[in-house]
Structures are given as C-alpha cells and as structure tokens.
C-alpha cells in the first residue's frame, strides 16, 4: 500500500519535507499545496532582489515548479490554499485560487509548513496602496514595480534584519531612506551597545535612523505618503515598507484542535504534533533552546529546512533522526559591517536571573602585520560559576561569520570558556592570529572565571559611577590617548610608568583600571594586585566598549 503524504506550504520547511519524503519513500504519493504562485523560493533573497544586488528574478527559485514533478515526482499544486484540516476524516479542504473551486484531499500523513504572516500594526492609514510588505515573490514584484516610478524616498518601519537589509539595498539604489524603529536599538538579537556602531555606520552611509519612536499615522497626500511618528515628527516619502515582523500562521492548526502553546505549534523531536499523523515544521513551531532548555521560536531558514527534512523523513517512515533544538544563530549584513549572534544575549540573561558575566574584546580578524586586518568586536556572555558559554555576539567588517559559527559550534557542544581557550584553530597571517579572536576571548573570560583577573562591564561601571561609589579610576593609556578623551574622574598613569608611580595610588581604595581595549588594563590589574591593592577591576573592552 502506498502512503499518501500531503504537505501544506512549499517553501523552506514544506519543500524540504516533500523532497525528503520522496527520497525516503519512492512509492509514496506526495502532494504539495502552495497558496501562492511559487514554490521553493529564496525568501531571504528578496531584499537583495528588490535592491538589484540579485539581478535575475529566476535566481530566486531553487527548485522550479517543473522539477518538483520531473525530478521528485511530487504533485506540486501552486495557487492552492488549504483552508481546513479534518482530522477525523483525515483530509484537508483545499481552494484552487485559479478556478475558485474547492475540494477535499485525503492524507495518511500531513505536514503543515505554512510559515509566518506579516504583522500589520493597527496604525491609522496602514492599508494605503503606498505601503508594502516583503514576504513573498509577488510582494517583491510589487515593490520592483513601484521602483519603476523612480521614487526618491522611502520610509522603512522596523529595524530588524529585514528592515536593515531593505534599507541598505534601497539606499544603494539611490533612494533617500528613513528607517524608523520603536525600540531603542536595531537588530534585537544583539545587545544595544553592540548595535550602536552599526547605527553610526548606517548614518555615515547616509541612511537616516530614528530610534525609540513609532509610527502614529500614515496619510496619502497626492503622490506621496506622510508618515507621522509618536513624537510628532513627520516625513513625506514616495512609499513605505513595513518590516514590523512576522507571526506564525496558526489558524489552520488551532482550528484543527492541535496543541499550540503561547510560542507556537507543539511538536516532538520528530516534528509530530499532538496528532501523530500530522507534522509541523518551520516558522510555526516551537523548539527547544539548546542553552536554556526553554521553548522558543526563531523565524529562521536553517531550522526550517532541517525541521522539514526531519518531518518528511519521519512521515515517510524511514529515519530516527531527531530535531534537537536551536540557538537562534543569526547574521545580517549592515553596510560594510556584519552583525551576528548566537545563544543568549545580556537582556535574556537578565530576564532569566542567570548569574553571568560579560566579556568584550576588540581584535583584528587577522594578524595586524599582514595588510587588511580589521578590528571586530566580540561580546561573550558566560555563566558565573561554571564558565559555560551562554551566548556570543560579534560585529565587524570581516570574518564575523567565522567567529559566530565557531561560537555556535562551541555552544552546541556545551563548551566552557576554558574550552574556547584550548581551541586549535587555523592560523596563517592572512586569516587569523596565533591566538585568534575566539581563543583570545576565551582566555580573557577564563582568567575572570579562575579569579586571575576581575572584570567590570561598562554597564556596571556606569552604575557605580552614577551611584557615586568611591572609585579610584585609573586610565593607563598613553598621554596622547588620554588627551583625546577619558572617563570623567580618571587619574592618568600610563601603563609603562605604573610601577614607578604606583605610590600615587591608594591601595586600600576600590580601584578600576581601563585602557583602550582591555589588554593594558589587564596588565595594570596584575601589577596593582601584586602590590597589595585590595580590590581592583579592569574595564572589559576598555574605553572602546565604554563609548
């Protein structure tokens, strides 16, 4: 008897499930329903397609509609929307949007991979024809059409990665771009201070960024649209792109009475829902966070593809492969910068009352003596008692993707910062240094863990100064560096004179040392502690992290 597998949604998770099911069961009947006109398209490429970086529209399609039939013997039906799952009857109700007809299709196994839907905030005027969203190929087509009118300006609402990518791409095309974000930072997976250099960079490129302000009203005015913010600031633009996020499309599964949590569809490790004949995968499901063990949902393509693959295999009855969980590893190009993160950020550590410490490191992507080295900034979050890595963030112009992938691999292996210190990574001058950024961050974090140094974060130093705590603050940079600016109240003793001039400091006072990046501060820490100073802390990341 052949198994009949029906898949709903034909992009990341759904298409992966269908092709995998075919590989695992050559004789199954596989039907793949897709509401829109296209299957297997590169959602993630859409910002780059509207910007023109991706030149050819056809490049957006990974497996053509034709190949689903020819290569995979999958009955792909585009423009077919599933509107109901009848679990008792084991069938789904389908509308063919081309003919308007509807019909029922039976299944033995059903895989739901309907993804996310755009969140349209309930703002006055949000339904204007001049407001676009970007989720599908037709969405991108519409924006490309709008660009035919040679618009001069656009307001982008939302500073997540899609908003930022789109801003950069449209700026690149010559438009005046204004990006509006309600939060006080862009790219939420990163901590705020890590995003500040990115905002700075986007501004330098000529993109206007407005933080901590939301849209109150949209108003069409002739050929233009007026955007009024909460702060009463107003902008006129040719059009608007809403990049205010997506939420999981849960109606189908909820109506079918399948178990759904606050976060998303509840599934087991084989991606089975509460009905073992029904699977769910991709943006709609909740997953286990590999650091906290909590249930979470990240709308990302990697997990969607892997989950689809596991659902498809299991539905076809062939594998014991399980989906273990996610880290939320993500990355985004921000002009000439890259920003990436994996695991927990500081906000999340705080929310969970985890005892953690943070480490900042600025270091060249490769040996400084080989041309072209660019500094990148790493931030680690580390569990206080155990030294277990909790999360990492990285920004810079080069090699950020490498650092974050190594951190993600380390997180998956539940490594401590002492394990990072031991890593045997590749070094030749064009690629890294003998103790490259990941290893060095591990060394710094391990020193703190082993009580061989004591770090203070910029945030904690700020609080301490604001609380007017009695701090002996010592700047150990050179004269020139000091003259260019220092932290208020700091006494200046260059590192190389510290041994001679140590008598100028009071060993009984709580002392904080700092330099530019943290290295000289660390050396100063060691000298002071060895000379009987009671309590010394080194500002992690130095004045660079402070600013």
Ligand X SMILES: CC(C)(COP(=O)(O)OP(=O)(O)OC[C@H]1O[C@@H](n2cnc3c(N)ncnc32)[C@H](O)[C@@H]1OP(=O)(O)O)[C@@H](O)C(=O)NCCC(=O)NCCS
Which DSSP string corresponds to 496-536? Answer: HHHHHHGGGS-TTS-EEEE-SSSHHHHHHHHHHHHTT-S-E
323-342: contacts with Ca ion (CB under 5 A): none
Question: Is residue 317 classed exposed, middle or buried when 0-12, 13-18 and 19+ CB atoms within 10 A define those classes?
Answer: middle
Query: Is residue 413 close enough to count as binding its own copies by CB under 8 A?
Result: yes
431-460: contacts with its own copies (CB under 8 A): 431-432, 434-435, 438-439, 446, 450, 452
How near is the Cβ of 476 to Ca ion at its closest, in Å? Answer: 18
Of the ranges 35-43, 71-79, 209-217, 535-543, which one interacts with Ca ion (CB under 5 A)? 535-543
Query: Is residue 430 close enough to count as binding its own copies by CB under 8 A?
Result: yes
H/E/C letters for each residue in 469-498? CCCEEEECCCHHHHHCCCCCCCEECCHHHH
Q: Please, which residue, 135 or 224, has the CB nearer to ligand FAD?
A: 135
Separation CA 298–CA 464 (nearest Å): 35
Interacting residue ranges for ligand X, rule: CB under 6 A: 11-12, 15-16, 19-20, 23, 40, 42-45, 62-63, 301, 305, 309, 361, 434-435, 440, 443-444, 447, 517-519, 522
Q: Please, which residue, 225 or 456, has the CB nearer to Ca ion?
A: 456
Q: Please, which residue, 410 or 513, has the CB nearer to Ca ion?
A: 513
Of the ranges 47-55, 121-129, 320-328, 453-461, which one interacts with Ca ion (CB under 5 A)? 453-461
Looking at beta carbons, which residue is closest to ligand X? 518
Query: Is residue 404 close enough to count as binding its own copies by CB under 8 A?
Result: yes
Q: Which of 44, 349, 394, 515 is catalytic?
A: 44
432 binds, among its own copies, ligand X, ligand FAD, none (CB under 5 to 8 A by kind): its own copies
Q: Please, which residue, 38 or 486, has the CB nearer to ligand FAD?
A: 38
Q: Apex CA 397: angle with CA 396 and CA 403, to 5°?
A: 55
Query: Is residue 327 close enough to count as binding its own copies by CB under 8 A?
Result: yes
The terminus-to-terminus CA distance of the chain in angstroms comes to 68
Q: How far is CA 435 from CA 261, 299, 426, 442, in A?
A: 45, 35, 10, 10
Note whether 410 and 398 are within 8 A (CB): no
Q: Please, which residue, 15 or 490, has the CB nearer to ligand X?
A: 15
Of the ranges 37-45, 152-160, 431-439, 455-463, which one interacts with Ca ion (CB under 5 A)? 455-463
- If one counts every other C-beta atom within 10 angstroms of the C-beta of residue 33, the result is 25
Note whether 162 and 188 are within 8 A (CB): no
Q: Is 209 helix (H, G, I), strand (E, B) or coil?
A: strand
Q: Which of 178, 201, 162, 181 is nearest to 51 (CA)?
A: 162
How near is the Cβ of 16 to ligand FAD at its closest, in Å? Answer: 8
Rg (CA), the chain: 27
Query: Is residue 183 close enough to count as binding its own copies by CB under 8 A?
Result: no
Concerning whether 44 is annotated as a catalytic residue, the answer is yes
Note whether 355 and 383 are within 8 A (CB): yes
Q: Which residues contact 142 (CB under 8 A, 6 or more apart)?
A: 132
22 binds, among ligand X, Ca ion, ligand FAD, none (CB under 5 to 8 A by kind): none
- If one counts every other C-beta atom within 10 angstroms of the C-beta of residue 206, the result is 9
Separation CA 167–CA 149 (nearest Å): 18
Of the ranges 1-9, 230-238, 252-260, 363-371, which one interacts with its own copies (CB under 8 A)? 363-371
Interacting residue ranges for ligand FAD, rule: CB under 6 A: 8-14, 33-36, 43-44, 46-47, 81-82, 113-116, 134-135, 162, 249, 252, 282-283, 299-302, 304, 427-428
How near is the Cβ of 454 to ligand X at its closest, in Å? Answer: 11
Q: Please, which residue, 153 or 307, has the CB nearer to ligand X?
A: 307
How near is the Cβ of 457 to Ca ion at its closest, in Å? Answer: 8
Q: What sections of 316-415 are H helices per DSSP?
A: 346-351, 400-412
Q: Please, which residue, 337 or 360, has the CB nearer to its own copies?
A: 337
- Residues in contact with its own copies, shown as a per-residue x/- string from 53 to 82 under the rule CB under 8 A: xxx---xx-x----x--xx-x---------
Query: Is residue 83 close enough to count as binding its own copies by CB under 8 A?
Result: no
Q: Please, which residue, 95 or 440, has the CB nearer to ligand X?
A: 440
454 binds, among Ca ion, its own copies, ligand FAD, none (CB under 5 to 8 A by kind): Ca ion
115 binds, among Ca ion, its own copies, ligand X, none (CB under 5 to 8 A by kind): none
Separation CA 185–CA 187 (nearest Å): 7
Q: Which of 485, 463, 480, 474 is nearest to 511 (CA)?
A: 474
Query: Is residue 161 close enough to count as binding its own copies by CB under 8 A?
Result: yes
501-530: contacts with its own copies (CB under 8 A): 522-523, 526-527, 530
Q: How far is CA 547 from CA 368, 459, 485, 488, in A?
A: 23, 11, 11, 12
- If one counts every other C-beta atom within 10 angstroms of the C-beta of residue 368, the result is 11
Question: Is residue 219 classed exposed, middle or buried when 0-12, 13-18 and 19+ CB atoms within 10 A define those classes?
Answer: middle
Q: Which of 12, 3, 13 is nearest to 312 (CA)?
A: 13
- Residues in contact with its own copies, shown as a per-residue x/- string from 2 to 21 under the rule CB under 8 A: ----------x---------
Query: Is residue 454 close enough to count as binding Ca ion by CB under 5 A?
Result: yes
Q: Which of 131, 128, 197 is nearest to 158 (CA)?
A: 131
Separation CA 201–CA 338 (nearest Å): 11
Note whether 388 and 356 are within 8 A (CB): no
11 binds, among its own copies, Ca ion, ligand FAD, none (CB under 5 to 8 A by kind): ligand FAD
Q: Please, which residue, 44 or 205, has the CB nearer to ligand FAD?
A: 44
Task: Tell me which residues are annotated as active site.
Answer: 44
Q: Interface with Ca ion by CB under 5 A: which residues?
A: 454, 456, 537
């Amino acid at each position: 008897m052949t198994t009949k597998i029906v898949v709903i949604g034909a992009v990341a998770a759904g298409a992966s499930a269908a092709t995998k099911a075919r590989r695992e069961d050559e004789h199954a009947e596989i039907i793949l329903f897709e509401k829109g006109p296209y299957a297997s398209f590169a959602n993630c490429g859409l910002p780059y397609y509207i910007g023109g970086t991706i030149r050819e529209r056809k490049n957006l399609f990974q497996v053509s509609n034709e190949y689903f039939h020819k290569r995979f013997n999958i009955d792909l039906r585009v423009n077919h929307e599933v509107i109901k799952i009848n679990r008792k009857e084991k069938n789904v109700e389908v509308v063919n949007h081309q003919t308007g007809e509807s019909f029922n299709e039976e299944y033995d196994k059903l895989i739901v991979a309907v993804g996310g839907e755009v969140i349209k905030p309930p703002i006055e005027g949000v339904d204007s024809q001049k407001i676009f969203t970007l989720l599908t190929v037709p969405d991108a087509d519409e924006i490309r059409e709008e660009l035919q009118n040679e618009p001069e300006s656009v307001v982008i609402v939302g500073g997540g990665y899609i908003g930022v990518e789109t801003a950069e791409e449209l700026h690149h095309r010559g438009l005046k771009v204004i990006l509006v974000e309600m939060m006080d930072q862009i790219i939420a997976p990163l901590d705020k201070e890590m995003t500040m250099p990115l905002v700075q960079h986007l501004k330098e490129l000529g993109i206007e960024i407005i933080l901590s302000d939301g849209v109150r009203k949209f108003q069409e005015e002739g050929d233009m649209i007026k955007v009024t913010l909460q702060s009463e600031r107003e902008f006129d633009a040719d059009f608007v792109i809403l990049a205010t996020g997506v939420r999981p499309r849960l109606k189908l599964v909820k109506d079918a009475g399948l178990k759904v949590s606050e976060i998303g569809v509840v599934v087991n490790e084989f991606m089975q829902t509460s009905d073992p004949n029904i699977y769910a995968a991709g943006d709609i499901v909740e997953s286990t966070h590999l650091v906290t063990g909590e249930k979470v949902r990240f709308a990302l393509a990697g997990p969607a593809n892997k989950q689809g693959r596991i659902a498809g295999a299991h539905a076809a009855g062939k594998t014991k492969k399980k989906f273990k969980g996610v880290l939320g590893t993500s990355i985004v190009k921000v002009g000439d910068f890259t920003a990436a993160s994996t695991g927990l950020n500081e906000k999340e550590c705080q929310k969970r009352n985890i005892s953690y410490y943070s480490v900042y490191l600025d270091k060249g992507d490769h040996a400084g003596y080989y041309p072209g080295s660019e500094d990148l900034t790493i931030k680690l979050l580390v569990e206080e008692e155990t030294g277990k890595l909790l999360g990492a963030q990285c920004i810079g112009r080069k090699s950020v993707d490498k650092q974050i992938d190594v951190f993600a691999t380390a997180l998956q292996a539940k490594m401590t910062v002492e394990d990072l210190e031991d890593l045997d990574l590749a070094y030749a001058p064009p690629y890294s240094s003998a103790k490259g950024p990941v290893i060095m961050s591990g060394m710094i974090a391990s020193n703190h863990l082993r009580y061989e140094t004591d770090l203070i974060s910029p945030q904690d130093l700020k609080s301490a100064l604001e609380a007017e705590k009695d701090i002996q603050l010592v700047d150990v940079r050179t004269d020139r560096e000091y003259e260019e600016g220092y932290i208020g109240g700091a006494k200046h003793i260059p590192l190389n004179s510290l041994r001679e001039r140590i008598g100028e400091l009071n060993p009984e006072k709580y002392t904080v040392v700092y330099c530019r990046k943290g290295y000289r501060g660390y050396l100063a820490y060691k000298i002071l502690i060895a000379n009987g100073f009671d309590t010394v802390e080194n500002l992690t990341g130095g004045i660079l992290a402070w600013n």
